Amino acid sequence: MSAAASPSGALNVRPATAQDMAHVRALLEANKLPTADLADSRPEFVVAESESLLIGVAGLQRFGNVALLRSLAVAERSRGSGTGSALVHELERFARAHGINELVLLTETAETFFASRGYERVERGGLPPAILATAEFRSLCPASAACMSKRLDGTP
């Protein structure tokens, strides 16, 4: 995964390391996002740093050519700075580079954010069984969460 910079050049987006995981977990918990399944599902995370502080995180859980975009969180003090967009952009770039042609997500609070980036609401029943079998879909996210998808290969 590559680095991305904000207009001020202070933002660095990079793959998370083992040393980042305590901070990743803390940021997810501070944003009330699920962490119970992290050890079992082992998503690949990217983190955003500014001035040596971890200010954002996003994860990708792969299932063949479809992946679950999960755990997008930005520290409250850094919201509105473009950090979330940089994280999503990097995950989409990584996904395309690894043959993933569709990203799926659940959200209770960020539907507008994702819709503005090309994600559309979809019915859960049409998703691949591996996605539906994840802890997010089975138990961690409520049924009321918006289910969204984005094709990365240009097909509808």
Structural domains for the chain? 11-151 (3.40.630.30)
The pTM for the full model equals: 0.84
Average pLDDT over residues 94-108: 92
DSSP string of 8-59, one letter each residue: TS-EEEEE--GGGHHHHHHHHHHTT---TTHHHH--EEEEEEETTEEEEEEE
Average pLDDT over residues 7-12: 67
Residue 134 has a pLDDT of 85
CA distances from 107 to 10, 12, 110, 114 (A): 28, 25, 6, 9
Average pLDDT over residues 10-29: 92
Confidence of residue 7 (pLDDT cuts 50, 70, 90): very low
Query: Which run of H or of E encompasses 92?
Result: helix 83-97
CB 154 within 8 A of CB 118: no
Average pLDDT over residues 81-105: 93
Which among 87, 68, 69 has a CA at the least distance from the CA of 78?
87
Residue 155 has a pLDDT of 63
CB 100 within 8 A of CB 2: no
CA-CA-CA-CA torsion sign (14, 20, 22, 26): negative
Residue 6 has a pLDDT of 39
The string of pLDDT tens digits covering residues 102-129 is 999 999 888 999 999 999 999 988 898 8
The string of pLDDT tens digits covering residues 61-77 is 999 999 999 889 998 88
**Pairing mode, strands 102-107 and 120-121:** unpaired
